[in-house]
Amino acid sequence: MPDRPPETTSGAFLEGERIAKYLASAGLASRREIERYILDGRVMVDGVKLETPAFKVTGQERILVDGKPVARPTVSRLWRYHKPSGLVTTNQDPDGRPTIFDMLPGDLPRVLTIGRLDLNTEGLLLLTNDGGLARALELPSTGLQRTYRARAYGRITQPDLDRLRDGIVVDGVEYRSIRARLERSVGANCWIELVLTEGKNREVRRALESLGLKVNRLIRVSYGPFELADLAPGAVAEVSPADLLAEVGEMIAPERRPDPSRPVRALARSSGAKKDAERRVSRDDRPKAGPDRNARRPLRKR
């Protein structure tokens, strides 16, 4: 049987927190991904390769992932990112398609996405350096609303859309209540606002397809209290520590709570992201939103 780090190593086997949770909190990857790293032999603690994700650490150990040291978790931070259509929400894509991480500013620290947006969905994607916060914000039990604007081919009436309020089952998959509001019809298309709390894979598209519509553009405009507002396609903006604490402070571990007085600085913008975004989204067809007040306070859906 392979060796494991000794139980006397900082008392890690007897106290502390599980290595997968610790590394996820450090923004390395999700807990599930960390567990796969361990099973693949990619994680070492104090010179010994781990064989189980049940091992606990206190933060005093020397931890290596793929031979590189892992820094201690820092204070929690959160960014809003306007994801353009055509980018994959993964670190690497086996098909070689561009990912959001190819387009993010180079001075952005290591981050995780909070949920995902599929290839052809654009709009608000939250990024964080805190795996625990990411998990908390993703859980359906948290009840955070996600708001989308969908352009769909076909005709629909408000009573038809109201059928989604009771939840639906599509191809054996159950979707909870969706509040949908017909905004307007333009030619053969219609614009619809949808509010949901689950965010299952392709939920909006499948829900509208069940009503005979074909979604040809989908934009997420808010996630919980945070809104896209007029954040430009491809741009990233940090939520201030004060606003982060005010909105989701109860979801942040005490040791990771930020200083509310810390100012935020603007990030450099990737020229590739700017060019890609401007090619995909015309000025006249961007999501409708008011002034971007997120620089002072994240907007909350009432």
Q: Is residue 285 among the annotated active site residues?
A: no
Q: Which two tokens stand for residue 266?
A: 């603007």
Q: What is the pLDDT of residue 58?
A: 82
* 122 and 143 inside one domain: yes
| The residue type at 265 | R
Which one of the listed residues 46, 93, 118, 160 is annotated catalytic?
118
Whether 302 is covered by a domain: the verdict is no
Predicted TM-score of the model (pTM): 0.74
- Which domain, by its residues, includes 114? 78-283
The strand order across the sheet containing 43-45 reads 48-49, 43-45, 63-65, 68-69
Q: Read off the pLDDT of residues 259-269 as tens digits, 9 standing for 90 and up.
A: 999 998 887 76
Q: Do both 135 and 275 map to the same domain?
A: yes
State whether 224 and 273 are in the same domain.
yes
- Please report the pLDDT score of residue 70 as a whole number: 84
Which residues have CB under 8 Å from 130's CB, separation 6+? 25, 27, 73, 76, 77, 112, 252, 253, 256
Residue 55 shares a structural domain with residue 92: no
In the prediction, which pLDDT does 300 show? Answer: 43
* Spans of the chain below 70 pLDDT: 1-15, 269-302
What is the phi-psi region of residue 84: left when phi exceeds 0, alpha when psi lies from -120 to 50, beta otherwise?
A: beta
On whether both 98 and 223 belong to a single domain, the answer is yes
89 and 230 in a single domain? The answer is yes
- pLDDT attached to residue 25: 74
- Number of structural domains, the chain? 2
